[in-house]
Structure 1
Amino acid sequence: MSQKKKYLFYVTLSYSFSILRPIAEQIVKNGGEYAWYIPPGSEAEAFLLPEDHNLPDIDSVMAFNADALLAPGNYVPDFFPGIKVQVFHGFDSGKKNKFNIRGFFDLYCTQGANITKAFNAINDGTCEIVETGWAKLDALFTEHPNKANYISDKPLVLYTPTFSPKLRSSYALLPEIERLSKTKDWQWLVKLHPKATKEEADMYKAIQSDNLTFIETADLIPLLQAADVLLSDTSSILAEFALQDKPVVAMNNRRPESWMININQAQELEQALASALNVSPEQRALIQAHCNAIHPYKDGQSAARTLTAIDSLIERGTSHLKRKPLNLIRRFKIRKALNYWRL
């Protein structure tokens, strides 16, 4: 009988839970064991569940001695045990440095053909690239029990801006969103990014009304399922939402494409949302073509494929991979942030 495999989830932001929990469920089904490590003070701490096996310190991480370390972020502590696996925190949204082999991961589990092709093109031999689909979206294709909490008899608009100061729309759209929440018979849900500032959160909390609700949650799936249209800017959540064959509106998207409705001025928002809520057959066809390229998997089995790819590399080892770059500065920064200096 093979030895039980152990997996560690390295998490700093709350959105990681929706990406990793489907994989955790699959680990249990396969008879494995998993644990979480969240650096003290990280935003994700508040979203741990009482039953989560959270390792309190790095000594506990070393003692757990995982076979694989999974992270949705771009970097992981290189000195943690286990092969290092990147499971991605979103789709390609046109932001800088989206495709980058940073020398920290042994395995990249990609979502669809477009990102697989991009990473294969820059693979330097230090890692493997395996297309698995994105575990986070397994739940998207099964109705979430909390969806009913957000359903409205009015057209439902979900607003989810990004956090980047150069790309976010939260300030520019605030007056227009407030106006539309008072003048249109639409229901609004506002969910800001975990890295959004307190000022942004306070602004949108202040305009709450019967037609607009500010949401704080780590689980976006029921929001995505309930909404009729998504409003954002330059964020991968546009693509996630569109996978349901639903229209999206973007404000000053860094890389506007035909499958989205992009606007450049806040004054265009009302007409754009009206068009999205009455989407044309031509626009719907563009949405479907795009979704087939970025994530063709709608069977709810991406977590299983991801774990199969991870287990394969665990069993084969990493001796066939080229030596990774030293990355001394980045490794030093990680150790400094974690305040851990042992070899």
Structure 2
Amino acid sequence: MRCILFCQNNYAFGILEPIKTYLENNGHDYIWYVNDKISADFPFKNEKNTSSITELENYKSDAIFVPGNEVPHYLRGLKVQIFHGLAGEKKGHFRIRHYFDLYLTQGPYFTERFNKLKSVHKDFDVIETGWPKLDIYGTDKSAFEQERKELLQKYNAKKILLYAPTFSPKLTSAPFLVEQIKSLSENKEYLILLKFHPLMDVSWIQIYTDLANEIPNIIFETEKNIIKFLLISDVLISDTSSVIYEFLLLDKPVITFNNISDNILWQNSSDYTELIPLVEKNLNEDPYSKERKFIFENYHPYNDGESAKRMVDAVADYIKKNGVPEKRKLSILRRFKINSIFKK
């Protein structure tokens, strides 16, 4: 099977890496598509990659794995949506853009919704596989335990707190927590990691970078893949972000501010001044530990580390039964949008 790993944003690298590894280990051919704007961040430069859509046309793929929202309709290959997060409450998560032949879902919550949409649109299929970015939870959850120990020792801290807000201007807590994070850092038993979305407003990135430069037990992390920081942290502070679910699936407490989900099963507050007592409460009591069971069962019930395998196998079986699409039919408006995005 010839596959394209399609990256429009740099968060795609960590999502697609387990698929890449499975393809490589099982004799499949693949090429990375890396948008020019993120080429400097691409971590697999020794592997076959391109920023040319024309080269992808000539590659004649069988399948295209896409963690984003768009893919050129005129490329040969089964166009597979594998998603870039678990935040179903975010605007657009369940929007059908008609670019995809197959949706590979993370768990029953997503599968049920997309199957309902399938019954309406009738131009795509849905298979539940789990999400490859979280395969490490099943295969090597302690991968960074030594690094955690070294950080705690270096900073003479006892707990690692991760602040990972969303970038969306309407949803982000970044403008409201600068002074609160600063006050939180006065407790030297806390090591505070700041991990911002790559699309975060640069002015807030600068403000928090300056804060980290000023205060020793605050670190502004620039590594692209957030998984390591999820694994080594004791509590997550956020707002409305997919990273919340990724952290909850590690069975650890989350604190959010003004989250818009209809089904909040963690500590949420509208009062930014409550950050310090909420951190203490969740570290000491973990009051929402029982509620996390719903997230485990519905958002991502797979803890075997084999979601990438399920995805590749599902695609191979689907192609065996249905063949490889040469292109996908789209409305004039959708074709125009794709042609505009990819400069055709």
**Does the TM-score normalized on the shorter chain lie above 0.5?**
yes
Given that 2:76 and 2:324 are in contact with CA atoms closer than 8 Å, whether structure 1 keeps it comes out as no
| Match in the other structure for 2:226 | 220
| Match in the other structure for 1:200 | 204
Asked if residue 165 in structure 1 is aligned to residue 160 in structure 2, the reply is no
Give the Cα separation in 1 of the matches to 2:28 and 2:329.
31
Q: How far has the Cα of 1:256 moved from its partner?
A: 5.8
| Match in the other structure for 1:81 | 76
Give the Cα separation in 2 of the matches to 1:327 and 1:155.
53
Q: How far has the Cα of 1:9 moved from its partner?
A: 1.2
1:132 to 129, 146, 158: 129
| More off after superposition, 217-226 vs 105-114 | 217-226
| Match in the other structure for 1:328 | 332
| Match in the other structure for 1:53 | 48
Q: How far has the Cα of 1:125 moved from its partner?
A: 1.7
Three-state SS of the structure 2 residue aligned to 1:207 is: helix
Q: How far has the Cα of 1:64 moved from its partner?
A: 1.4
Three-state SS of the structure 2 residue aligned to 1:205 is: helix
Gaps of 5+ in 2: none
| Match in the other structure for 2:29 | 33
Asked if residue 11 in structure 1 is aligned to residue 7 in structure 2, the reply is yes
| Match in the other structure for 2:180 | 176
Percent pairwise identity: 34
Residues 117-136 of structure 1 deviation map (CA, whole Å, 9 limit, x = unaligned)? 01001112211100000011
| More off after superposition, 169-178 vs 328-337 | 328-337
Asked if residue 233 in structure 1 is aligned to residue 239 in structure 2, the reply is yes
Give the Cα separation in 2 of the matches to 1:6 and 1:176.
50
Three-state SS of the structure 2 residue aligned to 1:250 is: strand
Describe the shift of the 1:125–1:324 C-alpha distance in structure 2 as closer, same or farther (beyond 3 A): farther
| Match in the other structure for 1:120 | 115
Describe the shift of the 1:337–1:144 C-alpha distance in structure 2 as closer, same or farther (beyond 3 A): farther
Q: How far has the Cα of 1:80 moved from its partner?
A: 1.5
Give the Cα separation in 1 of the matches to 2:269 and 2:188.
19
Three-state SS of the structure 2 residue aligned to 1:34 is: strand
Q: How far has the Cα of 1:183 moved from its partner?
A: 3.9
Given that 2:110 and 2:299 are in contact with CA atoms closer than 8 Å, whether structure 1 keeps it comes out as yes
Gaps of 5+ in 1: none
Given that 2:9 and 2:35 are in contact with CA atoms closer than 8 Å, whether structure 1 keeps it comes out as no
State the TM-score, normalizing by the size of structure 1. 0.91
Give the Cα separation in 1 of the matches to 2:230 and 2:47.
25
Three-state SS of the structure 1 residue aligned to 2:288 is: helix
Q: How far has the Cα of 1:338 moved from its partner?
A: 2.1
| Match in the other structure for 1:143 | 141
| Residue identity in the other structure for 2:315 | I
The two structures, once aligned, show a CA RMSD in angstroms of 2.0
Residues 40-77 of structure 1 deviation map (CA, whole Å, 9 limit, x = unaligned)? 22x35423323221124122112211100111111111
Give the Cα separation in 2 of the matches to 1:193 and 1:112.
24
Given that 1:106 and 1:127 are in contact with CA atoms closer than 8 Å, whether structure 2 keeps it comes out as yes
Residues 57-115 of structure 1 deviation map (CA, whole Å, 9 limit, x = unaligned)? 12211221110011111111111121100001011341122212221101100000110
Give the Cα separation in 2 of the matches to 1:253 and 1:107.
30
Q: How far has the Cα of 1:331 moved from its partner?
A: 2.3
Q: How far has the Cα of 1:337 moved from its partner?
A: 2.7
Residues 138-183 of structure 1 deviation map (CA, whole Å, 9 limit, x = unaligned)? 0123136445334424211111110110000111111110121124
| Residue identity in the other structure for 2:330 | L
| More off after superposition, 155-164 vs 59-68 | 59-68
| Residue identity in the other structure for 1:254 | I
Give the Cα separation in 2 of the matches to 1:216 and 1:307.
30
Residues 295-324 of structure 1 deviation map (CA, whole Å, 9 limit, x = unaligned)? 11000011111111111122122699xx97
Three-state SS of the structure 1 residue aligned to 2:176 is: helix
